Chain A
Amino acid sequence: MNQVMFHRKRTIRTTITLIVLALIAFGVLLLSMNTGFSKMSPMEVLRTLFGGGTPKQHLILFEFRLPRIVIALLVGIGLAIAGAILQGVSRNGLADPGILGINSGAGLAVVLFVITNPQRESTSPMLLPFLALIGAFGAAIIIYLMAYKRHKGISSSRLVLSGIALAAGVNALMIVMTIRLDPNEFNFIATWQAGSIWGSSWKFVIALLPWLIVLIPIALWKARQLDVFSLGDETATGLGSQLNMQRLVLLVVAVAISAACVAVSGGIGFIGLLGPHIARRLVGPRYEHVIPVSALIGAVLLLTADMIGRSILQNAEIPAGVMVAIIGAPYFLYLLARSKA
């Protein structure tokens, strides 16, 4: 009886949290539409949004600001969900697609493509997620194999260390590959790596959206499985879970989501870490609650970071990834310092 009550309370709490977060997200979205290089008053933004406004305002809002805002929202959602899944699968609260080296694998593939195809404008938006996917899976497979030992399965510490090793190696390679580019290309890649949400047109929204529409429902559907994992391998098998198969499916979903996101946003870390952690604080440890809540938190975080990055300096943009890392890394270190051995 108590159990049922508790469960219902949690569900109500999650619903309320989701509504509040959605309102916050909406607020940030409105603010974000008002932020930018050319000034537009909130009333002008609203008028333009509903069909009024000058052609110039129309252009600024619909062609420059909105696509970027939508991408920040989607990428925030995607990375937070990917992080939650990775934390559940590895049973390591410090897992994140950036830390585990998956982002750097995706980044390597994208950078290789950019270097070998200077005329990227025409073809790339739809292609980039696929390329990133190949790189991300390459990285994930290497890390998985390195962390796997026969009779012992996957060890979470080896998983994390292999990810860090791979990311360090890939970074060394990337610097080497980019250093001889001409300054324009180099700047493009440098801002991309810093996580600048560079693909800010509707083409990129269309390239990203199908991935999320397919993958996020799978993640939500499998969320209960993550709760079973958290009980430990023996209990999970006892409850009839086909551990390795389920784990693999979830890993594939997480890697694919983060690859698609990284392809359009560039290397943004720590969203996958912050989202789920804050979500757990708000609604407790059950993944069916954690995943939707962390998705909205991720969206709010990235949207805010991008907005601040766009407006904090007069003549330059700070990439959203840099802003997220400046907040996220200290939080990560704080979690690390608190964690038990």
Chain B
Amino acid sequence: MRYDAIVVGAGHAGVEAALALARLGNETLIVTLDARSVSHMACNPNIGGTGKGHLVREVDALGGQMGLNADASLLQIKMLNKNKGAAVQSLRGQTDKEVYHENMLRTLVAQSGLTLLEGECEDVLVEGGKVAGVVVNGTKYEARAVVLCTGVYLSSRTITGEEIREAGPYGFENSKNLSAALLAKGLPLRRFKTGTPARVYADSINYSVMEREDGDYDIRCFSFLTEGRLLEQVPCYLTYTNLETHRIIRENIDRAPLYNGTIHGVGPRYCPSIEDKVMRFAEKERHQIFIEPEVKGGELMYVQGMSSSLPKDVQEAMYRSVKGLESVRFARYAYAIEYDCIDPLALTPALEVKGISGLFSAGQFNGSSGYEEAAAQGIMAGINASRKIHGQTPFVLRRDQAYIGVLIDDLVTKGTNEPYRMMTARAEYRLSLRQDNADRRLTPLGREIGLVDDRRWESYLARNEKKDAITEAFSASVPLRKVAALFEEKGETATVGMTVGEMLKRPFITAKDILPFLPEALRDEDLAEEAAVEIKYGGYLTKEQAFRAEARRMEERVLPADIDYLGMDNLRLEARQKLDKVRPVTLGQASRISGVSPADIAVLITYLIKQNK
């Protein structure tokens, strides 16, 4: 069997990679162990969150599927940091897991040029340093590009107290043979760990003693293509652990695999298990627990904040010590999961494995965590695999262009010692990389690549034309009488007339306030709010742009792929080794490697000059 490209794994990374490949005209095969696990949300039932919401918007702006799929399965939507500035506002949606899976499966099946195959990928074929295909259950499938998106399935095992199973998440089969095959090809694999809380029966919870958490009804959804508001929403509930919960955990800590040496994998600090929280933050008297729906009107609830690998009897005791969970019944117990993944320093910024041309990878296999991080890498790996097939240059987003750029650059330049989670704190150009302007930053690039179809492109043009017109209308003058009237409503005074833009510079003036001063055709609150962001951030944005200009120059200097770093005597030893391992593509990337100093960069510059002679 022969395909242009093969994607191994149909999780959040795999589906984006496969859809991108097929939509770019490549005959594509996507292999999954079990079709029921396509886009399975193995952990929390939500999409988005701080930093992650940005990623979803960016994937959408490039022409990806995650945003649309999330919107079609929303149970609740919320804008985090709503009372803070636009740059740190992030969408988070509660989604119906079954609908999410079914929608994506339907999208895959409907996609022309894409074939879904159930089976276990056992080996990757490599000939003369180039990928040649894969072996699925003993059968060879040839391809010019392969994308590995194995998630947490690679030689995985789940741990609940003393009970250890060779299995994937949620009881799915795991991948048994691929790890060894990849190791034999020289891929540097290592072991990471993550975990998930219990799923409990909805009718065994006493919601009346918990705090109800509702969504926001006045905000946009994820995709730039989704119109309107989500009017029907389902609530979540908040409760807390207490001293009794903590006592139960402490008394049983010797039975916790994390503490008794059963688990060796490195877990994420930002996703601590409840036993970790209690042991590390002993002074805290309570921890938040959110009860979230797994499916609409369904029977199961997700207990966010109670991830654990303690034995079942301890789980029962500690869950039941929580207010409102006194008589809770378990559908699935919490577990930790260990899995194999690659050291991402072995990847290029195009997410290609160094030394094996045409082999790409994305998602948790690359050491990240989270559905959104996976999808972001998936679409990029898919695009780059396609470009490889067609002999085009790699498509790499810079750190000043997108959170996707930050995510991938961090992974392949700095590496990671734990499953990597996106945070807004990681983005040095945070004020510019907003979710409201993700389309402006990326949709033209997606169009050029070929993933943005006519419908998305026209909607993009219309939206931004209007937004520009609004920005222009901000320069209209408003007479003192009207300004003073508005200011007075806010308890402020005005002594001169001013433009709409000048009014917006005042912290107490919102986009909604100035709508009456815009031409009637432009009174769109969402767009006015987005256009106002640039004014509100003002000087800070200018400052950020100055940094960007400086960083860009370093980014534009390409380092030859064949530099012999180890033989460069002028470099310090540590720098030689680090540069040789990472093999940076640009001077900018080189400068971000830990252990490479400005003096080392000067040496590299000298080398470049020598080469140019």
Partners in one complex: no
